[in-house]
A and B are shown apart, each in its own frame.
Chain A
Amino acid sequence: MIKPLRALQILAVLAYCSAARAEFVVEITRGQSEAIPIAVVPFSSPQETAASFDVADLVSDDLTRSGRFNAMDRKDMLEQPHSGAAIAFDDWRRLNSDYMVVGQLIVQGTDRFNIVFELYNVLTRQRLLGYQISANRAGLRLASHQVADMVFEKIIGVRGAFATRVAYISVLGHLPNRRYRLIVADADGDNPRIIMESNEPLMSPAWSPDGQSLAYVSFEDKLPSVYVQTLKTGERHRVSARAGVNQAPAWSPDGKRLALTLSTRDGNLDVYVLDLTTQGLTRITDDPAIDTEPQWSKDGNSLYFTSDRSGGPQIYKISLTPGSKPRRLTFQGVYNARPRLSPDESQLTFVTQEDGAYRIATMDLNGRNDVQVLTKGHFDVSPSYAPNGAVIIYASRDQGRGVLAMVSSDGRVQQRLVSPEGEVQEPAWGPF
């Protein structure tokens, strides 16, 4: 049985306008009541205006956005120390801050900076972290995300995923003048880069395990083809343009093979595995139903996929050993599709239908197969795990517009990423 969504307190609706270049405004639509109070004190900064960069602001935003922290407003800070020696711990204890981050941004030379930071437990006065990160001007954002990652991991015990990237499809303009873009942005939506642009649909971006390449579907020739594009060089290869359907690419964990969906002449979709080195093609499923949306198990020996062989779409798992029969995994509800595996393989996330709406659900893979519906939208699709498994990003709709949203994989924290223009869909969270 599908458990009803847990009733949770709505903590606050917080809007964060970060840097002007930011693609998204993040709204925390449901927060965690037990968010940990932390003070990220503004870092001391070099005098030159060219070097001005607010490390603390970015770290503070990252931590707040995770839903696990409640970062203190800097106007509530009585003083702004930049090193542990300068902290008046008794004062900070009265401000109810459990942790604090202090630090400095130091100019090291032409286009060379050091971020020096320390993390303290305010109650015990213990220094939990003390690091120096060297970066050029262009690397300051990434370095600051790495500060947030280290703080997150030290306190929560889970690796932070702030210094990672997300790929997604953006659709600009209206019928019939639509522009489709494949975009890669930082995990906070900042620094968006156009990877591919077309007047015809782009679909299903999938990260290679090393984060160097994306596979995706492009209709640029009016027919679907699967492409692999190297991000650094822009070099791209058409890896499948067979007659019929060429869809739903998914990389094997070793990055050497691609699972994908192809069709026979009479339009029967099945899942295949393409060896990227030898171009050898192996058929994995063989059923007159729609078999699609493959996803690899971590050991590379099985595929999860969607099939409507039982009527409506449901999720199955099949071993790649020849002659294997698929095993059905979902039984609750009439529509369960597009599985994605959590990084530790303890959980699947997928799209389920509930009261006529499409929502993001998870299922434990511990044997009990408990299902939890995490979202409340009407068109929530395309879930993708953060590489630390803590958060799921997905595509939703807001007042008729495609937007991205995130939910913690336990369903307790929700946020919406509001893009200033166009439709945003099919987010795919990149690896560490």
Chain B
Amino acid sequence: MKRMIAISLLVAGTMLLAGCPKKPTVVQPPSSGSQVPASGATSGQSGGASTTVTPLGGESGAMGAAGANGPLSGRVVYFDFDKAEIKPEFADLIANFARNLTAHTNLKLRLEGNTDERGTREYNIGLGERRAQAVRRALMLQGVAESQLTTVSFGAERPAAEGDDETAWAQNRRVELVYLP
């Protein structure tokens, strides 16, 4: 239930965010005129160097919710710490997705791998990718075409829950199955 709320919030919040793009506060650097050459490179450092990226819309969660697979809670596979093995309790979820994807071969699914915050950031990208690949392989074993599946790893960068405890970590070690438009 908690997971469902967290994900609903994620979707709602992203919609809100997409509706009102925030203007960045740009900190203007002073132009430096020191004549000791040691690190004169500071001058005019970031004049106009700030960029703003506005979201493209269609946040990942939204399509999954609207897709053929029903409730949001049924589109996330959770993992044990430092593991990429799919636990038996997610067999039904995988089977449901496999059935839908093989029945509708026009559907495309993105597998978003995530980790908890522990460990180094780039190694966690690798671990997130490994989890996404585990789900990809499981779907392909049940007949889903390779061309219907893509993966992405966010590592620890896009947690579903904030916090330094096992409750948060358990929600973050996950692969989200997201139908693409």
Contacts and interface: CB of A to CB of B under 8 A. Distances in A.
B176 interface: no
For the side of the interface on B, what is the size category?
35 or more
Contacts of B125: 203, 224, 245, 247-248, 261, 269, 292
A143 B30 CA distance: 13
Contacts of A306: 120, 122-123
Interface stretch (B53-61, B87-95, B99-107): B53-61
B32 A142 contact: yes
B83 interface: no
Contacts of A215: none
A290 B121 contact: no
Interface of A is mostly: mixed
B127 interface: yes
A234 interface: yes
Interface stretch (A57-65, A175-183, A362-370): A175-183
Nearest to A146: B36
B62 to A, nearest CB: 12
B122 A197 contact: no
B39 A400 contact: no
A416 interface: no
For the side of the interface on A, what is the size category?
35 or more
B118 interface: yes
Contacts of A292: 122-123, 125-126
Contacts of B6: 175
A182 to B, nearest CB: 9
Contacts of A221: 56
Interface in A272-323: 290, 292-293, 306, 308, 313
Most buried by B among A245, A397, A432: A245
Given A194-B49, A196-B50, 7 more contacts: A112-B33, A136-B31, A146-B38, A201-B154, A203-B121, A211-B41, A337-B119
Interface of B: 6, 9-11, 13-14, 16-17, 22, 24-36, 38-39, 41-56, 60, 117-123, 125-127, 129-130, 132-133, 136, 151-155, 157-164
